[in-house]
Amino acid sequence: MSDTDRPWVIVVGAGPAGLLLSVMLAKLAGIKVQVLEANSKLDVSLRAAYYGPPAAVELRRAGLLDEIRREGFQPEIFCWRKLDGSYIAGLDYRKVADNPDRLFVLPLDQLGALLYRHASTTPGVEISFNHKVTEVGQDKDDAWVQVETSTGLHRLQAKYVVGCDGASSTVRRFISEDGGFPGFTWDNQIMTANVRLLRDPTPFICLNPDFRSWLTWEKILYPFDKFGYSDVQFIIHSEHWHLLARLSKNPNPDDDVWRIAYGEISGLTKEELLARQPEKFSVLLPGNPQPEDYKILSINPYKTHQRLVDSMRKGRLLLAADAAHLCPPFGGLGLTGGIVDVGGLYDCLAGIYHEKAEESILDLYSEVRRQKYIDHTDPMTKANLRRLTELDPDRALEDDKFLKLLDEIKNNNLEAQKEILMGDMKLYYDFTQHYKDKTPIVKRA
């Protein structure tokens, strides 16, 4: 293969991070990219849905944000509650409704499909499914991967190889010193389910519109918001802690899908966890619903990890997103952090390609993105999980500084509220400030 036919970058993994990186490199900088995906199709398992402001910035740069906002929705109220549904404290995202970078929602299967549509139609991007990378290496001038395909083992070469191959990354094994992924795995398992209402609610008398104190003459469960649910609620409880979040907002609420993510005992098998699910739902959800009261669209157990790789660069080999760092899914920082990695890596690679930056900018990429995880993602996600699981809900406003602050500023300090609502912008970093030539990138013909 001649140098002009060869990709300049090989991206391992057609997850959201890999697809977005390929779109940005090819569309914005004219860089040829080959994406290698081990599976025969995109991974549609239920995971990310909520993305913070710095992800909006990068997706806008990629020219995708408007379409993503049209397919998804903007959530309004986030709050923390007790298991009986009573309200503790919250955040109102309508206060930043005019901010173009505000938080947005689109379930990962839809986001992945949208990114794939764009990546597969962007000139300069080639996506190869059933291409499992088994080895990665480099010399002075090039990086290479060994791929397993239906026709056997092949070696592919490019200037750089980027591992966007997720939590069990193969590329990471060739970057970190001992192949390790420093950090720890939390004891609890998390059961995550997407659910949809089954039937229209029958009429009921609601004495207290704020959640569960109502009088009904017939048990009904959904729609959640008829019971005073907000778009997102974190329920604080030592045993029955959970997150209940809206995944879609449709003209007909019967079509809406909700996400329930709840803590479960470690060590149980998937079958054991599934057997416990009906009892858990009846405790977690209002109306003590039985299985005939809801429809589970998908359900999966997850282990949660707090991990960060020692380095996101070794020569021509690079890492981004879950391949480099993991965090619990309470706070929407996992893929948000991954998308910000991708935007930063795009600037670094495009800068090198267009001779605006030295190769050493890739060391800075690794240093800055790791530090952002250490300073923001790691403490925020640990605190979010501990707030749910360890706090005494009856003393939450006294014992938890964050909830206390939300309560104090709720009526009088709009600026402080906006700062919290846009707080994840701390993850953002502009690598183009290190370009030696600051003129805009012009795609080569």
Ligand X SMILES: Cc1cc2nc3c(=O)[nH]c(=O)nc-3n(C[C@H](O)[C@H](O)[C@H](O)COP(=O)(O)OP(=O)(O)OC[C@H]3O[C@@H](n4cnc5c(N)ncnc54)[C@H](O)[C@@H]3O)c2cc1C
Can you tell me the distance from the alpha carbon of 232 to that of 249, in angstroms, rounded to the nearest whole number?
12
119, 18 contact by CB (below 8 A): no
- Applying CB under 6 A, does 335 fall inside the site for ligand X? yes
End-to-end CA distance of the chain, in Å?
20
Mutual orientation of helices 361-372 and 334-353 as an angle, nearest 10°? 170
Can you tell me the distance from the alpha carbon of 278 to that of 41, in angstroms, rounded to the nearest whole number?
32
Find all residues with CB under 8 Å of 267, minimum gap 6, and list them: none
Find all residues with CB under 8 Å of 273, minimum gap 6, and list them: 189, 191, 264, 301
Q: Candidates 40-48, 80-88, 227-235, 411-419 — which segment interacts with ligand X by CB under 6 A?
A: 40-48
- Applying CB under 6 A, does 384 fall inside the site for ligand X? no
Q: HSE of 32 in the Cβ direction (CA atoms, 13 Å)?
A: 10
Query: Binding to ligand X (CB under 6 A): which residues in 273-292?
Result: none
To ligand X, the closest distance from the beta carbon of 76 in angstroms equals 16
3-state SS, one letter per residue, for 65-104? HHHHHHHCECCCEEEEEECCCCEEEEEEHHHHCCCCCCCE
Residue found by looking up tokens 């996101």 in the block: 312
- Applying CB under 6 A, does 47 fall inside the site for ligand X? yes
Nearer to ligand X, 206 or 383 (CB): 383
- Applying CB under 6 A, does 64 fall inside the site for ligand X? no
3-state helix, strand, coil in the chain (%, to 5): 35, 25, 40
Per CB under 6 A, the list member of 25, 26, 49, 88 interacting with ligand X is 49
- Applying CB under 6 A, does 164 fall inside the site for ligand X? yes
To ligand X, the closest distance from the beta carbon of 356 in angstroms equals 27
- Applying CB under 6 A, does 334 fall inside the site for ligand X? yes
Residue 351 has phi, psi (to 5 degrees) of -60, -45
- Applying CB under 6 A, does 24 fall inside the site for ligand X? no
Q: Candidates 122-130, 180-188, 317-325, 402-410 — which segment interacts with ligand X by CB under 6 A?
A: 317-325
- Applying CB under 6 A, does 312 fall inside the site for ligand X? no
Number of chain positions touching ligand X (CB under 6 A) = 37
Query: Binding to ligand X (CB under 6 A): which residues in 222-241?
Result: none
- Applying CB under 6 A, does 170 fall inside the site for ligand X? yes
Per CB under 6 A, the list member of 10, 11, 21, 108 interacting with ligand X is 108
- Applying CB under 6 A, does 347 fall inside the site for ligand X? no
- Applying CB under 6 A, does 322 fall inside the site for ligand X? yes
The dihedral sign for the CA sequence 72, 74, 76, 80: positive
- Applying CB under 6 A, does 192 fall inside the site for ligand X? yes
Per CB under 6 A, the list member of 166, 289, 343, 351 interacting with ligand X is 166
Cα–Cα nearest to 260, from 239, 281, 274, 276: 281
- Applying CB under 6 A, does 13 fall inside the site for ligand X? yes
Can you tell me the distance from the alpha carbon of 68 to that of 66, in angstroms, rounded to the nearest whole number?
5
To ligand X, the closest distance from the beta carbon of 36 in angstroms equals 5
Beta bridge partners of 27: none
State the binding string over 116-145 for ligand X (x if CB under 6 A, else -).
----------------xx------------
Interface residues toward ligand X, by CB under 6 A: 12-18, 36-39, 43, 47-51, 108, 132-133, 164-166, 170, 192, 261, 302, 321-323, 329, 332-336, 338
